[in-house]
Amino acid sequence: MTAVATIQFTGVRRVFRGRGGATHTALDGIDLLVDSEHRVGVVGESGSGKSTLVRLMVGLDRPSAGEIEWGGVSIASMGTAALRNFRREVQLVAQDTSSSFDPRRTLRDTLRRPCRNLLDLDTPAADAAIDATLEALSLDAALAERKPHQVSGGQRQRFAIARALVVEPRIIVCDEAVSALDVSVQGSVLNLLKEHCERRGAGLVFVSHGLPATAFLVDELLVMYQGAIVERGSTAQVLFAGRHAYTRALVDAYRTTAGELTPEAV
């Protein structure tokens, strides 16, 4: 059994500078540990810093202050080889799949890229890995020969998940990965993610607006508000014994719009 893979945030702050020297602090004082053995949910309103957290977590952005480490090594100081290894182990699934695939290429072509770049697979080996992943995600392999605009939104979202899973990452980071899908498709995609993480022993960071979807999937919940983590704990603890006013407001808002949230349902 390989060692537990970890991403450690220590005192992370991210400040964006606008025109005329104006600054916006998107994240402040973030201390966080995610690993390949747990599924963590991140909830919070728009502008609370969730997407910035995701970009930092997958190494697409650098913190203005603080440190983000992968297995004890700072991501900012990684060389090409170490960064490549990190990208193989940490993969991202995003919300807007219509713009994340190359419209000129077939879905299979797009899925071959991470196989070639991160796993050094030749085309037949990449195709075999792709077919195995598609089968696990209940996707018809024939769909992979189509271009992204020639499949439905739900199918495209599964291909986005397949793109992340095909390199068998240790940690999967999902940023609003099911928010654009209708409820029935959301359910099947969530099940697929959960099954994959349990079967392969991968960790999950699931960032979402949707409280029930997140609660269904994760063991631990983080609540973000104005760039800070204001609440963290087991899913049941955060939902039913939340101490921060924003957490209680979030749970109440869900109750008034979608009905009772009971420990049994969770």
Partner 1 sequence: MAGLWAHHGWWIRRLAMLPVHLVLFAVIVFFLVKLIPGDPVAVLSGGQTMTPEQYQAARAALGLSGSLPAQLGTFLGRTATLDLGNSVISGTGVLSEMLTRLPETVELAVLAMVVSLVLTLVLGFLVMLRPRALVSRTVASYSRAAGALPDFCLGVAGIFLFYSVLRWAPAPIGRYDPLLNAPTHTTGFPFLDALLSGDAVLMRSMLAHLWLPVGVLVVAYAPMLIKLFIRSLQQARDAQATTFRIASGASRSMVLLSITRRALPATVAMFGTIFGFMVGGAVVVEQLFAIPGMGEYAVQAVTRSDFVALRGFLLVVGFLSLLVFFFVDVVTMLLDPRRRSGAAVTGG
Q: What is the enclosing helix (H) or strand (E) of 107? A: helix 107-119
Site for partner 1 in 83-122 (CB under 8 A): 84, 87-88, 91-92, 94, 96-97, 99-104, 113-114, 117-118
Interaction of residue 257 with partner 1, rule CB under 8 A: no
Provide the Cα torsion 99, 207, 51, 196; round to 10°: -50
Give the x-and-dash track for 142-181 against partner 1 (CB under 8 A).
-----x-xxxxxxx-------x------------------
3-class secondary structure for 218-258? CCEEEEEECCEEEEEEEHHHHHHHCCCHHHHHHHHHHHHHH
Angle at 151 between CA 196 and CA 92, to 5 degrees: 40
Question: 3-state class of 103 per DSSP?
Answer: coil
Nearer to partner 1, 118 or 136 (CB): 118
Nearer to partner 1, 59 or 242 (CB): 59
* CB 32, min distance to partner 1, A: 20
What's the half-sphere exposure (Cβ side, CA atoms, 13 Å) at 239? 25
For the chain, helix (H) and strand (E) counts, in that order, are 9, 10
Site for partner 1 in 28-57 (CB under 8 A): 55
* CB 146, min distance to partner 1, A: 9
Nearer to partner 1, 84 or 244 (CB): 84
Q: What is the enclosing helix (H) or strand (E) of 72? A: none
Nearer to partner 1, 48 or 91 (CB): 91
Question: 3-state class of 161 per DSSP?
Answer: helix
* CB 62, min distance to partner 1, A: 13
Nearer to partner 1, 42 or 58 (CB): 58
Site for partner 1 in 56-75 (CB under 8 A): 58, 60
Range list of H helices, 123-227: 123-136, 153-165, 183-200, 211-217
Q: Which residues bind partner 1 (CB under 8 A)?
A: 55, 58, 60, 84, 87-88, 91-92, 94, 96-97, 99-104, 113-114, 117-118, 147, 149-155, 163
